Amino acid sequence: MAKDIPLLETVPTHVGVIMDGNGRWAKKRGLPRKFGHREGVKTFRAVTRRAKQLGIKYITFYAFSTENWKRPDDEVQALMELFEKNLDEVSDFIDEEIRVRFIGDRSRLSPTLRSKMENTERSSEQFDQTTMMLAINYGGRDEIANAVKEIGRLVKSGELDPESISEETVAQHLYLPDVPPVDYVIRPSGELRLSNFMIWQAAYAEYYFTNILWPDFTVEDFDRAIADFSHRGRRFGGV
């Protein structure tokens, strides 16, 4: 599966991937939706490895949103089982020296899943080349509300002057304050929306949309998406 590394002028520092289209992939084959999620994990693993080969420092995958609890119980259950199983298999990322972190509100996740998440984070925290973040029970609005709550506590205790609150203060109270903003958001499956993904961090991101369903998305598709980024002219409000 070794593929040549394309020559790229620039790669994004932080890529966000909205893994979408698993359900439709399964439906097209007359299979239950959970088969699509299972297939999507393969893409996730291949793209994570590729990100490291391409020299991408941070990559965040949207795996479960705060809105995804609205799905039928059996689908939610299947997804939670898949996360647990996948964390048992994460040792090969560790062999490849990929740091694994999680982003989202963990309080609603099972104690077993939470402890696996903590173990994975601990056993990979020494790696600094590529960090892969998995967003589980993540919502951008939830993250901002949580930051506001923390800031409110500091104001109440007198540790923070409300007049001094800046964009930086908010950024410092997001779930992973040390991770740089998202430069590039990739969304497969044809939907043209963020669905509450990193709404603060992606304020100046570039976007890449494709109709390919996530389980069909290949390493070559990822290379193409990353190559497209190097042609974007970013101005950040300047000239």
Question: Which window, 20-28, 52-60, 81-89, 158-166, contacts ligand IPE (CB under 6 A)?
Answer: 20-28
Cβ nearer to ligand IPE, comparing 66 with 124? 66
Answer for which of 53, 68, 146, 218 binds ligand IPE (CB under 6 A) is: 68
Give the active site residue among 4, 20, 22, 142. Answer: 20
Give the active site residue among 4, 68, 178, 228. Answer: 68
- Rule CB under 6 A: is residue 62 a binding residue for ligand IPE? yes
Q: At what angle do helices 219-229 and 33-53 cross, to 10 degrees?
A: 50
Closest CA to 52 of 230, 226, 233, 228: 226
Active site residue 68: yes
Strand order in the sheet with 98-103: 98-103, 130-138, 58-65, 14-18, 184-187, 206-209
Answer for which of 20, 143, 183, 223 binds Mg ion (CB under 5 A) is: 20
Restricting to residues 158-197, name those near ligand IPE by CB under 6 A. Answer: 189, 191, 193, 195
Active site residue 74: no
Q: How many residues does the chain have?
A: 239
The Cα 146–Cα 49 span in angstroms is: 32
Question: Which window, 14-22, 128-136, 203-211, 219-227, contacts Mg ion (CB under 5 A)?
Answer: 14-22
The Cα 183–Cα 205 span in angstroms is: 4
Task: Give the burial string for 107-136 (b: 16+ CB within 10 Å, else e).
Answer: eebeeebeebbeebeeebeebeebbbbbbb
Taking CB positions, which residue lies at the least distance from ligand IPE? 23
- Rule CB under 6 A: is residue 64 a binding residue for ligand IPE? yes
Closest distance of CB 148 from ligand IPE, Å = 23
Q: Active-site positions? A: 20, 68
